[in-house]
Amino acid sequence: MDFQLPAEITAKLAELDAFIEAEIKPLEAENMQFFDHRRENARTDWDNDGRPRAEWRALIAEMEKRADRAGHLRMGLPKSCGGQAASNLMVAAIREHLAAKGLGLHNDLQDESSIVGNFPIVPVLAAYGTPEQKLYIDGIITGEMHLSFALTEPGHGSDATWLDTTAKRDGDHWVINGMKRWNSQVARAHGNLVFARSSGKPGDADGITAFIVPTATPGHTVLFNHWTFNMPSDHAETELKDVRVPNSAILYKEGQGLQVAQRFIHENRIRQAAASAGAARYCIAEAAKYARSRIAFGEPLSKKQAIQFPLVELYAECEMVRNFIFKTAWQMDRQDALEISDMVSICNFRANRLCCEAADRAMQTHGGMGYSRAMPFEHIYRHHRRYRITEGSEEVQMRRVAQYLFGFAGKRATQ
Ligand SMILES: Cc1cc2nc3c(=O)[nH]c(=O)nc-3n(C[C@H](O)[C@H](O)[C@H](O)COP(=O)(O)OP(=O)(O)OC[C@H]3O[C@@H](n4cnc5c(N)ncnc54)[C@H](O)[C@@H]3O)c2cc1C
């Protein structure tokens, strides 16, 4: 057994590094106001409900265009979408590697844009979409026709089988009524993937349908934006009032919308974990470097065990989590990924928590400057803190592991 990453993966990482130096760093250098201590101010359109500024989005679009031209942007996507169908291991290694390089235009945290794109909705459309629905695919990749995701509601998040939003059949149309919360990027979207109960009763897994609703449809209204820990943000409250869509708006099958949602979330969980592990590795390395150079009480901080030991704990945890993520991704390439969703959940909640702890420790080790926006750690903390709630919160991930550990819900009981 060889525990090295395969040579084709390490070669790809080196290729990405060279591309970043040649094509992305110069672009970043020309636009430093988006990356230095003023970054939130430069990026946020305060007069437009705290949404991202048009100039900031334009810069992301240019980064993505360059990455697409170089053949990197679509790497993780199916071949039918112009992608290279990279393995889960390849994508996890890339996510970890890019995050471990620290903050930058190559892998920006704000809306999770990266030179190797993260488009979890695209494989879902490729697998389940009609030819007409698949027209969204290229628009999503190029940023010209975004499709947002509307599952969460004011009354329900983790318990997605209890949605209050309803869809009632009216001839060959459906009429949707309800409210959606945390409807990310819907303000710039052309379509909104809305989940609504079309049959069955609260708590049933069947009976929820996914509809692609054009955002210009009468009755579909973006009400306001939620301001978050990490500005700018683009996470809206959306109202659906007598929204009428044809039967052809259904993505996949009537009543089987949760399968669509599950596939979307599952795509993201392992990648999010890999990004968190990489960002944790960056924070730990930077803190160790600073501790070696900072002189306190006449000697380097690194000589103090109170500085060493917390970083040693994090370093040990990071090594284990990182390797478990790579092993899980490797296994996902060999069997149905949903069969090992407990392993994916372990990766997710442990890596996201680790990243927050590592960013917090890096702030502490850097003292007052660690707390300032001149250093990247507070930004890393704010972003990755979100991962402990979205894509299934920590508790929801643990709930999944418990299903396997105790043999609930038809899952295998661990011996
Ligand atoms: C920045 C951001 C962007 C988002 N983007 C989107 C998006 O684009 N589309 C979308 O649909 N949603 C989005 N979400 C919503 C996100 O998916 C939900 O916030 C998440 O699923 C949790 O739901 P909730 O907020 O309703 O919390 P709740 O489900 O009410 O949970 C509250 C707390 O209770 C815990 N809890 C819940 N059930 C259990 C249980 N059985 N056992 C133990 N503890 C439990 C939770 O872990 C949590 O800590 C986003 C959220 C944020 C913060």
| Alpha helix (H) residue ranges in 44-185 | 54-69, 88-100, 121-128, 135-142
Choose the CATH number for 7-121 among 2.40.128, 2.60.120, 1.10.287, 1.10.540: 1.10.540
Atom of ligand 1 nearest to the CA of 185: 8
pTM of the entire structure?
0.96
Residues of the chain with CATH 1.20.140.10: 259-406
Average pLDDT over residues 113-126: 94
Is residue 393 within 6 Å of ligand 1 at its C-beta?
A: yes
Nearest CA to ligand 1 atom 17: 390
Q: What pLDDT does 3 receive?
A: 76
Six-digit token string for 307: 């500085």
CB-count burial class (<10 Å; 0-12, 13-18, 19+) for 101? middle
Is residue 228 within 6 Å of ligand 1 at its C-beta?
A: yes
Residues of the chain with CATH 1.10.540: 7-121
Q: In whole angstroms, how far apart are CA 393 and each of 143, 234, 381?
A: 28, 20, 16
Residues of the chain with CATH 2.40.110.10: 147-251
**Cα four-point dihedral sign 195, 196, 198, 204:** positive
Is residue 339 within 6 Å of ligand 1 at its C-beta?
A: no
Is residue 157 within 6 Å of ligand 1 at its C-beta?
A: yes
How many whole angstroms from 310 Cα to the centroid of ligand 1?
30
The whole-angstrom separation of Cα 246 and Cα 257 is 16
pLDDT averaged over the chain?
95
The whole-angstrom separation of Cα 77 and Cα 336 is 17
Average pLDDT over residues 297-323: 98
Q: What pLDDT does 410 receive?
A: 76
In tens, the pLDDT along 340-376 reads 999 999 999 999 999 999 999 999 999 999 999 999 9
Is residue 158 within 6 Å of ligand 1 at its C-beta?
A: yes
Q: Looking at 2-6, 54-58, 378-382, 388-392, which range is the least confident one?
A: 2-6
Q: What pLDDT does 263 receive?
A: 87
pLDDT score of 415 more than 70 = no
Six-digit token string for 99: 């995050």
- Cβ atoms 307, 365 nearer than 8 A: yes
Q: In whole angstroms, how far apart are CA 397 and each of 126, 296, 332, 367, 402?
A: 26, 42, 17, 33, 9
How many whole angstroms from 231 Cα to the centroid of ligand 1?
19
Nearest CA to ligand 1 atom 23: 157
Q: Domain 147-251 - what CATH class?
A: mainly beta
Inter-residue long-range contacts of 291-300, CB under 8 Å, 24+ positions, other chains counted: 291/365, 294/367
Helix (H, G, I), strand (E, B) or coil at 48: helix
CATH, domain range 259-406: 1.20.140.10
How many whole angstroms from 392 Cα to the centroid of ligand 1?
7
Atom of ligand 1 nearest to the CA of 230: 1
Q: Looking at 170-174, 229-233, 313-317, which range is the least confident one?
A: 229-233
Nearest CA to ligand 1 atom 4: 182
Average pLDDT over residues 173-193: 97
In tens, the pLDDT along 4-14 reads 899 999 999 99
